[in-house]
Amino acid sequence: MSESILLDGAILVVAADEGIMPQTRDQLYTLHEMKVDNVVVYISKCNLVSSPTDIDLVEVSIKELLKEYGYSSNTPIIRGDSQKAINGDQTEVKKIKDLFTKIDEWIIQTDKNKIIESKNIDAMIYVLDYKESRKTTMIENNQQTKLYFDNKDFLGTISTPNNINKIFNGQLLKVTIKLNEVNSMKKGSYFQIKDNNTTIAIGFVIDENKENDVTNSESSQIDKVSDNIDSSFFMTVDTVYTINGNKVAVTGKVKRGEIYVKDNIKIVNFNNERKNAQIDSIIIFKKDFDMALAGDPVTLVLNNININDVNQGYAIIK
């Protein structure tokens, strides 16, 4: 998972016969780091557990884990057997329906009703292609434009990610928009960008834009590292987590150069100390890629590195 992945909520699936596994904790940690506020839990394979008390114990352990990561004690937990539901068992089919009802109540409706009051928002923008708008269009970094919502128009300045100066026809991109005044709007609200009354782009509000949690001292140190290192590739680590309890994954945005699967890399800390690692896989927008380029928001899965050797704000170079 990386910042390129936009999640309103998630279903945490735990097998009744296994209980909480190392990957369960990893997954919940990742959701917490990505600021996914709402989770629904599904306890599967309940038919494989003979005693309901054992399932009760699994549920208690799940609630404790949810609490540890700041999730509500009222988080919905549904018990069931998905295989029986697939085979047409109506009791289990109803439980799956109950699960989707809880998703609607706990995630979708809650998310839709979230009100943002801020001058700075994150948004996804799609610039219509030529066939859709009949215009050759581009939106430039720091361009000031009007955002047309259903009930109000806002004037704002669009900031594109590093190393991306223009968004062209047919491109979709996550951007930051600085509004001229504080405004109230719902998360998920749609808007249009027009040129002489012709819609040239559409978008929706992701959330309020919040500053990175890295401290000012760490930020300044990593900026110095960026300026001083002679490397064809550079990115800063945003988040760190483990996959299946063994492989380390980092998220961030490629600031310079390109990276390939199996490339050997170095992780640079604030003291300019370096650890060697290797790229196991590259994930962009939930898909595996052989390479990533400057401007790509990525998840890099690493080999030959311990999770204690990498932290938020560290640099990755080649």
pLDDT digits (tens, 9 = 90+) for 254-266: 888 899 999 999 9
DSSP letters spanning 128-172:
PPHHHHSS--EEETTEEEEEE-SS-EEEEEEEPPTT--EEETT-E
Distance of CA 262 to the CA centre of its chain: 24
Q: Over the stretch 138-150, which tens digit does the pLDDT of each residue have?
A: 888 888 888 888 7
Among 63-67, 117-121, 227-231, 296-300, the minimum mean pLDDT is found in: 227-231
In this structure, are residues 178 and 159 in contact, taking their beta carbons and an 8 Å threshold? yes
Residues of the chain with CATH 2.40.30.10: 115-208, 216-317
In this structure, are residues 296 and 174 in contact, taking their beta carbons and an 8 Å threshold? no
Q: Over the stretch 163-212, which tens digit does the pLDDT of each residue have?
A: 678 888 888 888 889 888 777 777 777 889 988 888 888 888 877 776 53
- pLDDT for 210 equals 66
Question: Which pLDDT band, with edges at 50, 70 and 90, does 40 fall under?
Answer: very high
Domain boundaries 115-208, CATH class? mainly beta
Is 0.85 topped by the overall pTM?
Answer: no
- pLDDT for 138 equals 84
216-317 CATH: 2.40.30.10
* Fold entry, domain 9-112: Rossmann fold (3.40.50)
Residues of the chain with CATH 3.40.50.300: 9-112
Residue 198 CB neighbours (<10 A): 12
